[in-house]
């Protein structure tokens, strides 16, 4: 049975279908919102909809549902196998520029390079 979360603020721009959603119930203590339990995996996000100011996410194969009316913090994580990135192609070009009128010095630059076209 699908589980749908509706939010009152825009989603994080990097949230996308395929990310894994997690929840943790929260309470108020001393004027702060705090978690009062462990983070629980809900499942993979299967659709994102709604409007900009009231977005929704749907999880089809939910493992757990938060209690109705409870205040719940929802977070997500990405699959690190699908979201790894590095420089692609045979060459890269970098230009360093500053708008400062003062003298600037660059102490080091690093790159991660490996052969991937064999």
Q: What is the pTM of this model?
A: 0.62
CA 14 to chain centre: 5
Q: What percent of the chain has pLDDT over 90?
A: 16
Report the distance separating Cα 58 and Cα 82, nearest Å.
20
Is 62 a residue whose pLDDT tops 80? no
What pLDDT score was predicted for residue 23?
Answer: 87
Nearest to 75 by CA among 36, 41, 30: 41
Length in residues, the chain? 118
Is 61 a residue whose pLDDT tops 90? no
Q: Domain spans of the chain?
A: 3-77
Residues 6+ apart with CB under 8 A from 102: none
Each residue's pLDDT tens digit, 21-60:
998 888 888 888 888 788 888 889 999 998 888 999 999 8
Nearest to 59 by CA among 17, 100, 26, 25: 17
What pLDDT score was predicted for residue 89?
Answer: 66
**pLDDT, greater one: 100 or 68:** 100
């Amino acid at each position: 049975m699908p589980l749908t979360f509706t939010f009152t603020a825009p989603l994080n721009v990097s949230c996308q279908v395929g990310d894994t959603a997690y929840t943790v119930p929260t309470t108020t203590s001393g004027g702060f919102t705090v978690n009062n339990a462990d983070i629980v995996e809900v499942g993979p996000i299967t659709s994102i909809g709604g409007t900009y100011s009231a977005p929704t996410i749907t999880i089809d194969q939910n493992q757990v549902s938060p209690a109705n009316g409870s205040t719940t913090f929802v977070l997500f994580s990405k699959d690190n196998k699908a979201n790894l990135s590095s420089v692609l192609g045979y060459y890269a070009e970098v230009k360093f520029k500053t708008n400062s009128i003062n003298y600037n010095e660059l102490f080091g630059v690093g790159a991660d390079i490996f052969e991937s076209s064999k």
